[in-house]
Amino acid sequence: MSIPALSSQLRSHFKIGVFDSGVGGLTVLKEMTAQMPHESVIYFGDTARVPYGNRSKSEILRFVREIIAWMIDLDVKMIIMACNTSSALVLEEVRSEFPIPILGIILPGARAAVKAGKSIGVVSTEATAKSNAYQQAVQEIDSSAQVWQVGCHDFVPLIEDDRIHAPYTLAVARRYLLPLIDAGIDTLVYGCTHYPHLAPVFKQILPTHIKLVDPAKHLTVAAAQELTILRLRRSSNSPIEPTEFYVSGDPEQFANVSQQWLGYKPLVKQIPVSELEMIHAASSSTSDR
Q: Could you tell me the smallest distance in angstroms from the CB atom of residue 24 to ligand DGL? A: 3
Let me know: does 96 contact 4? Beta carbons within 8 Å.
yes
Closer to ligand DGL by CB, 21 or 283: give it.
21
Closer to ligand DGL by CB, 129 or 232: give it.
129
Q: Could you tell me the smallest distance in angstroms from the CB atom of residue 83 to ligand DGL? A: 4
Q: Is 24 in the site for ligand DGL (CB under 6 A)?
A: yes
Among 47, 131, 193, 220, binds ligand DGL (CB under 6 A): 193
| CA dist., res. 23 & res. 8, Å (int) | 32
Q: Is 21 in the site for ligand DGL (CB under 6 A)?
A: yes
Q: Which segments of the chain does DSSP mark as H helices, in order?
A: 26-35, 57-73, 84-95, 106-116, 126-131, 133-141, 155-160, 167-183, 199-205, 215-229, 251-262, 273-285
- Residues numbered 42 to 81 that lie near ligand DGL (CB under 6 A) are 50-53
Closer to ligand DGL by CB, 156 or 177: give it.
156
**Which residue out of 18, 32, 83, 147 is catalytically annotated?**
83
Respond yes or no on whether the N-terminal peptide bond of residue 51 is cis (omega within 30° of 0). Answer: yes
| CA dist., res. 246 & res. 137, Å (int) | 31
83 as an active site residue: the answer is: yes
Residue-wise DSSP of 202-227:
HHHHS-TTSEEE-HHHHHHHHHHHHH
152 as an active site residue: the answer is: no
Q: Among candidates 66, 67, 54, 183, which has minimal Cα distance to 117?
A: 183
Q: Is 156 in the site for ligand DGL (CB under 6 A)?
A: yes
Among 10, 16, 19, 20, binds ligand DGL (CB under 6 A): 20
Which residues in this chain contact ligand DGL in the complex, by CB under 6 A? 20-21, 24, 50-53, 83-85, 125, 128, 156, 192-194
User: Active-site residue numbers?
Assistant: 83, 192
